[in-house]
Amino acid sequence: MNKFCISKSCGVRSIMLLTAFLFPIATSAVVVIPIDDMFLILPTKSPSTEPIQDTSYRNFKEIGLNPQTLPNWADARAYGSFSGSGHTDLFTASLTYWPPTTPAEATPSVFQFWLKQADGTFIEDKHLLSSNEGCIHPRKAVVADFNLDGHPDIFVACHGWDAPPFPGENNKILLSQTDSTYLVKNASKDIGFFHSVAAADLNGDDYPDVIVANNFDPESVFVLLNDGNGSFYRESISRLPSSIYGKNYFSVELVDINGDEKLDILLGGHEWEGANTVAIINPGSNDFSGITPTIIPPVSNEGVVLDFVVTRNDEGIDIWILRTSGGDGTFYQSRTVQKVNWPSLVSTIPLNERPERWVPWIIPSILNKGKFITTDNAADGVTIPQ
């Protein structure tokens, strides 16, 4: 490691100017330590060489990801340059109990980092985590720079033991540290059945907040604000419309639907139980409480809504909705993709396979110069022309 000792007579301002010259990526990438009559300048962990976007949607669906050959099946996955190499590495959270028997037998999931290799494969990195013990039941992992240190962090939505009495659990956050490792801790004091999460700055302080879906909560979907240190607290007054309260919503996304550069909300859950799939358009203030949600056309017998993608082309805007079976006596026994034009709400079903194993996420992708809706898992075999 290079180091430079500079006389204190140069002054702190001169030292910081020299620091910026020596380490132009970011002056926050060094530590200046006074020792006797000298300054010791030490490089620390450099910011990620892969740009971190301002929303979790962009950090997953707009990074040019194609279907991957994954090292394992995981209940939650996230992508980013976690090693700082500039490659798109992988984070997985994998369930260790199933089927549910008693809550006492619900063992913690396994958190793992996987480094992307030049040949496209992944190799586990066991140095980024001091312990790989995760929450009981991870459901979705999203990436954002929650502590604004220039490195990707991960928020994991967790819902605990998946059977009555559904005790719930804390969400987890993995925060990047100056020694290049990740600290795992509870994201907030809230305990719930958290099925989904999306991240973006909602209160204007530059720190990414999260919106979470917890169908056992009276509000169903609510915002956890970032305190600036990677811990979260529930906002006291909801910014969401009361019409969604008490509904079985399990999927949430923050994405600009109408192209006005404001983040809108997409919500989905169990349609046959009264949780309409809806788009909630941002009035410009990130306060959605006075907005009447736009109802997306339902799909008969495919009433479990899992994920969303928004695409734009010369013909307009499309919302792609990933679904699986529900409402006809079956549950999670199909893979269905709905395409809804915005704002006309004209709906088509380009994919409806049953019985078939459900898939958790969809992504937009370019394959052989063609635009497709696919998944991050090559084993799924899903490719739908846009």
Q: Is residue 246 assigned to a domain?
A: no
My answer on whether omega of the bond before 364 falls inside 30° of 0, hence cis, is no
- 62 lies in the same domain as 153: yes
Mark which of 176, 208, 236 sits at the end of a domain.
236
Average pLDDT, the chain: 90
pLDDT at residue 48, as a whole number: 56
The amino acid at 167: P
Using pLDDT thresholds of 50, 70 and 90, give the confidence band for residue 201. Answer: very high
Residue 251 lies in a domain: no
Per-residue model confidence (pLDDT) at position 31: 44
In which residue are the tokens 């394992």 written?
A: 72
- Whether the pLDDT of residue 39 is over 60: the answer is no
Instruction: Check whether 32 has a pLDDT greater than 60.
Output: no
Q: Does residue 262 have a pLDDT over 90?
A: yes
**149 phi and psi, to 5 degrees?**
-105, 10
pLDDT band at 7 (very low <50, low <70, confident <90, very high): very low
pLDDT at residue 30 is higher than 50: no
User: Is 83 within the bounds of a domain?
Assistant: yes
The helix or strand, by DSSP H or E, that contains position 59, with its residue range, turns out to be helix 58-61
Q: Would you give the DSSP letter of residue 10?
A: G
Task: With a cut of 60, say whether residue 110 has pLDDT above it.
Answer: yes
Distance in angstroms (rounded) separating the CA atoms of residues 244 and 261: 24
- What is residue 22's predicted lDDT score, i.e. its pLDDT? 42
Do 57 and 33 lie in one domain? The reply is no
Query: 215 and 146 share a domain?
Result: yes
Q: Looking at residues 311-336, what average pLDDT do you find?
A: 97
State the pLDDT at residue 49.
56
Number of domains present in the structure of the chain: 3
Same domain, yes or no, for 130 and 36?
A: no
pTM across the whole model: 0.88
Are 16 and 75 in a shared domain?
no
CB 365 within 8 A of CB 372: yes
pLDDT at 47 over 80: no
In this predicted model, which residue has the larger pLDDT, 274 or 44?
A: 274
27 with 101, same domain: the answer is no
Judge if 29 and 135 occupy the same domain.
no
Q: What is the mean pLDDT of residues 345-373?
A: 97
Number of H helices, E strands in the chain: 2, 26
Given 181, 210, 236, the domain boundary residue is 236
Compute the average pLDDT of residues 249-266. Answer: 98
Neighbouring-strand partners of residue 129: 182
Q: Are the C-beta atoms of residues 215 and 250 closer than 8 Å to each other?
A: yes
* 346 and 198 share one domain: no
Mean pLDDT of 274-296: 99
Tens of pLDDT, residues 122-164: 999 999 999 999 999 999 999 999 999 999 999 999 999 999 9
pLDDT tops 60 at residue 10: no
Whole-number pLDDT of residue 126? 95
Looking at the structure, tell me whether residues 12 and 92 fall in a common domain: no
In a domain, 252, yes or no: no
Task: Judge if 33 and 52 occupy the same domain.
Answer: no
Indicate if 51 and 141 belong to the same structural domain. Answer: yes
Please name the residues in contact with 59: beta carbons below 8 A apart, sequence gap of 6 or more. 52, 53, 79, 80, 142, 143, 144, 152
pLDDT of residue 293: 99
The whole-angstrom separation of Cα 72 and Cα 266 is 29
Residue 266 counted as domain residue? no
pLDDT (mean) for 210-219: 98
Residue 259 counted as domain residue: no
**Average pLDDT of span 234-262:** 98
Q: What is the mean pLDDT of residues 253-264?
A: 98
Give the DSSP letter string of 253-290: EEE-SSSSSS-EEEEEEBGGGT---EEE---SSS--TT
Are residues 307 and 327 part of one domain?
A: yes
In a domain, 263, yes or no: no
Q: Which domain holds residue 205?
A: 47-236
Domain for residue 245, yes or no?
no
Among 225, 229, 143, 234, CA closest to 192 = 234
Residue 17 scores a pLDDT above 90 = no
Give the confidence band of 103 by pLDDT, cuts at 50, 70, 90.
confident
